[in-house]
Amino acid sequence: MSKQNLLFSKLKLRSLHLKNRIVVSPMCQYMAVEGHIQDWHIAHHSRFALGGMALSFVEATGITPEGRITHGCTGIWHDNHVLGLEKIVKLYHAQNIAVGIQIGHAGRRASCVRLSDGGQPISKTDTDEPSWEIIGPSAIAEKKGYPVPRCMSHEEIIEVVEAFKAAAKRALDAGFDTIEIHGAHGYLIHSFFSPLSNHRNDQYGGNLRRRMTFPLMITEAVREIWPENKPLFFRVSAVDNISGGISIEDTVELAKELKLHGVDIIDCSSGGMSGPSTLSREKIKRGFQVPYSEKIKKESGVNTMAVGLIIEAEQAETILKSNQADLIALAREMISDSNWAYHAAHKLGHENPYEILPPSYAFHLQSRSENMNVD
């Protein structure tokens, strides 16, 4: 018997029609060369393009060379990056899947080795992949023993805002359906919003309202370029989980302002101000960030995307039915099972799970099921 479920219901965001509520979250691959897409990225995204989800994001992509986390991060600071990104867009569009790109600047968390090599700052003695100067709202290191960022001048802040704007234009040229501004995980935008890393006493720092200035300037600049009919996402670290840091109430206020500046979805992550990009590894449990998504959605009036150890189809369905989020984002679970959407459709009693997949795949699997009575 078929069941009605929200996970496979449609959602309209401006003129973008999503066929279900399943999203592939941005996942850094650290495989780019000078910011350029490589064969690895095509292979990586090909898995998801055949998986039947509604929307997939390209990884955190640097708006400037210095804005990358590592030497292996993708870039969108030059027009010649567009061609590689366009290949990924066409890959998804051929399978009727929307595609977005996450753009950002790593700030004081830039100039690091790849996460698989430890993720620590690049040594100044490394000549193969040399370090570069890092910047931030204040001259405060991420943690003891880490490099101290140079405090940005007003002119440099404007330059970064303009770089985000230029990146949005290139994303539009590449054909992306949406952009996500990366305002989380201790990177530059987050570091301006958090009182832990922003000790400025000018218009960019101090009270909550002034610490919102930089994130809102970037959002406004991107929205100026990004067409009115295309949705805009913004990833937040909903809490710092460190004494004196961002609270969920602070983020609710930011979300209200982001909505006024043209943001359609708040992607609700957490942490990263000092250490891991999510809360303490010791405390993580399934769906640990869902309460942030729920509170932001209910108190700001902005649609939200839940992310973070969402594993099971039933779990995802419950989140949607409980009105805790509008979209479900998966990352590592998609690496584990790129056909997660198809398997979820079976588990939730979808009337025709095979329609989730491309026709050639659907034919073979349905034939097997009919002939052998298995899925």
Q: What is the pLDDT of residues 238-257, one digit of tens each?
A: 999 999 999 999 999 999 99
Phi, psi of 25 (to 5 degrees): -70, 150
Mean of pLDDT values over 307-324 = 97
Task: Give the per-residue pLDDT at 375.
Answer: 57
| Mean pLDDT value across residues 100-124 | 95
pLDDT tier at 373, thresholds 50, 70, 90: low
pLDDT at res. 283 = 62
User: Once rounded to an integer, what is the mean pLDDT over residues 260-267?
Assistant: 98
Flag whether pLDDT at 308 surpasses 90. Answer: yes
DSSP line for 282-330: GG--TTTTHHHHHHHHHHH--EEEEESS---HHHHHHHHHTTS-SEEEE
pLDDT above 90 for 264:
yes
pLDDT at 126: 82
361 is catalytic: no
pLDDT at position 354 over 80: yes
**Does pLDDT of 282 surpass 70?**
no
Given the residues 92, 187, 204, 292, the one annotated as active site: 187
Distance CA 278, CA 322 (A): 23
pLDDT over threshold 80, residue 276: no
The whole-number pLDDT of residue 279 equals 52
Residue-wise pLDDT tens digits, 324-340: 999 999 999 999 999 99
330-341 CB burial, b ≥16 within 10 A, e <16: bbebbeeebbbb
pLDDT, tens digit, 9 for 90 and up, residues 210-219: 999 999 999 9
Cα(96)–Cα(54) distance, integer angstroms:
8
Chain centroid to CA 362: 30
pLDDT at 277 over 70: no
What mean pLDDT is predicted for residues 341-353?
Answer: 95
Let me know: does 229 contact 15? Beta carbons within 8 Å.
yes
* 3-state SS record for 101-130: EEEECCHHHCCECCHHHCCCECCCCCCCCC
Average pLDDT value for the chain: 95
Whether the per-residue pLDDT at 1 is higher than 50: the answer is: no
Residues 155-165 have pLDDT tens digits of 999 999 999 99
C-alpha–C-alpha distance, residues 188 and 214, integer Å: 9
Task: Assess whether pLDDT exceeds 80 at residue 209.
Answer: yes
The region of weakest confidence among 3-12, 20-29, 259-268, 279-288 is: 279-288
- Domains of the chain, each with CATH number or no CATH: 11-372 (3.20.20.70)
Per-residue b/e over 295-329, b at no fewer than 16 CB within 10 Å?
A: bbbeebebbbbbbbbbeebebbbebbeeebbbbbb
144 has pLDDT over 90: yes
Q: Check pLDDT > 90 for residue 103.
A: yes
